[in-house]
Amino acid sequence: MKKFTLHRGLVAPMDRENVDTDAIIPKQFLKSIRKTGFGPNLFDEWRYLDKGEPGQDPASRQPNPDFVLNQPRYAGASVLLARKNFGCGSSREHAPWAIEQYGFRAIIAPSFADIFFNNCFKNGLLPIPLPAQTVAQLFDEVHAFPGYQLLIDLERQLVIKPQGEEIAFEVQPFRKYCLLNGLDDIGLTLRHKDKIAAFEAQRLASKPWLANTL
Q: Which residues contact 110 (CB under 8 A, 6 or more apart)?
A: 83, 84, 129, 130, 131, 132, 135
Q: Are residues 179 and 195 in the same domain?
A: no
Average pLDDT over residues 92-107: 96
User: Which pTM does this prediction carry?
Assistant: 0.89
Same domain for 10 and 92: yes
Q: Output the pLDDT for position 161.
A: 98
Domain assignment present for 46: yes
- Residues 76 and 158 grouped into a single domain: yes
Least confident range of 59-63, 78-82, 152-156, 203-207? 203-207
For the chain, what percent of residues have pLDDT higher than 90? 75
Residue 194: pLDDT band (50, 70, 90) is confident
Q: What is the pLDDT of residues 44-76, one digit of tens each?
A: 999 999 998 888 898 899 999 999 999 999 999
Domains contained in the chain, number = 2
Stretch among 106-110, 150-154, 181-185, 208-212 having the lowest mean pLDDT: 208-212
Residue 144 lies in a domain: yes
Q: Rounded to whole angstroms, how far apart are CA atoms 66 and 46?
A: 9
Cα 36–chain centre separation: 13
CA atoms of 83 and 15, how far apart (whole Å) = 6
Q: How far is CA 112 from the centre of its chain?
A: 12
What's the number of CA atoms in the CB half-sphere (13 Å) around residue 203? 9
What's the CATH code of the domain at 20? 3.20.19.10
Tens digit of each residue's pLDDT (9 = 90 or more) over 23-42: 999 999 988 777 889 999 99
Whether 141 and 203 share a structural domain: no
Q: pLDDT value at position 187?
A: 67
The domain of 122 spans: 6-183
**Per-residue pLDDT band at 191 (split at 50, 70, 90):** low
User: Looking at residues 150-158, what average pLDDT do you find?
Assistant: 98
Band (213; pLDDT cuts 50, 70, 90) = low
